């Protein structure tokens, strides 16, 4: 009897539909499954058919760019041989003008647009005719303590420098170089970099 009872129960189980068996199990709601796995698959709420879903677009607030930008305008130098002045420009604005001495007749400071190619402290001076050298820092060194070279013919150089003879500034007395008061060349040296344009006009 027991065996036939078991067979009867198995026959009964075969006749029961799958949905009925699933219904007998304890139901697990979809939100519970979602909550259990929200780290991997977050639950997205389903909108009600009667209530339209509003899609919100993040509002972007335009950022104002200040008028005084941090972009620095480039420095350039302009030498006027006739006025015996060099003017330092930042962009198109004249920042400062310095008194200079320029080349004497036959040794004129060359006209044209050049650029700073040498920037030296305590430069050595070599006499263009005799080749005599005077070391940097020597009180007799006609270049002073700062040198900004902007022109060369492959052998000789022309540039800005200080001088132990401040009375020569304002005249056409050099071998083509641009002499400046020592305090002026020191100041300009700190503002000028290699590649700074140098324009020489009559």
137: Cβ contacts below 8 Å, ≥ 6 apart: 122, 145
Maximum distance among all alpha carbons in the chain?
Answer: 138
Q: How far is CA 89 from CA 18, 101, 178, 185, 194, in A?
A: 91, 19, 17, 15, 15
Q: Apex CA 111: angle with CA 136 and CA 88, to 5°? A: 65
Out of 3, 5, 127, 177, pick the active-site residue. 177
Q: Which of 194, 151, 200, 158 lies closest to 176, judged by CA?
A: 158
Q: Is 13 helix (H, G, I), strand (E, B) or coil?
A: helix
* 3 labelled catalytic: no
- Active-site residue identified among 5, 14, 127, 161: 161
User: Does 161 participate in catalysis according to the annotation?
Assistant: yes
Which residues are CB-neighbours of 111 under 8 A, at least 6 positions away? 81, 200, 201, 202
- The residues assigned a catalytic role are 161, 177
């Amino acid at each position: 009897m027991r065996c036939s009872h078991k067979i009867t129960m198995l026959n009964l189980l075969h006749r029961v539909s799958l949905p009925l068996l699933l219904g007998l199990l304890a139901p697990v709601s979809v939100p519970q499954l979602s909550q259990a796995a929200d780290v991997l698959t977050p639950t997205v709420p389903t909108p009600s058919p009667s209530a339209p879903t509003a899609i919100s677009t993040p509002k972007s607030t335009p950022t104002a760019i200040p008028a005084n930008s941090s972009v620095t305008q480039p420095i350039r130098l302009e030498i006027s041989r006739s006025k015996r002045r060099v003017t330092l420009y930042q962009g198109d604005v004249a920042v400062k003008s310095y008194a200079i001495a320029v080349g004497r007749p036959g040794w004129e400071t060359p006209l044209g647009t050049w650029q700073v190619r040498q920037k030296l402290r305590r430069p050595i001076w070599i006499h263009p005719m005799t080749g005599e050298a005077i070391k940097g820092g020597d009180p007799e060194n006609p270049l002073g303590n700062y040198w900004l070279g902007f022109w060369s013919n492959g052998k000789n150089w022309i540039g800005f420098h200080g001088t132990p003879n401040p009375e020569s500034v304002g005249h056409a007395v050099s071998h083509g170089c641009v002499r400046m008061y020592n305090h002026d060349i020191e100041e300009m040296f700190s503002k000028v970099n290699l590649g700074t344009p140098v324009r020489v006009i009559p």
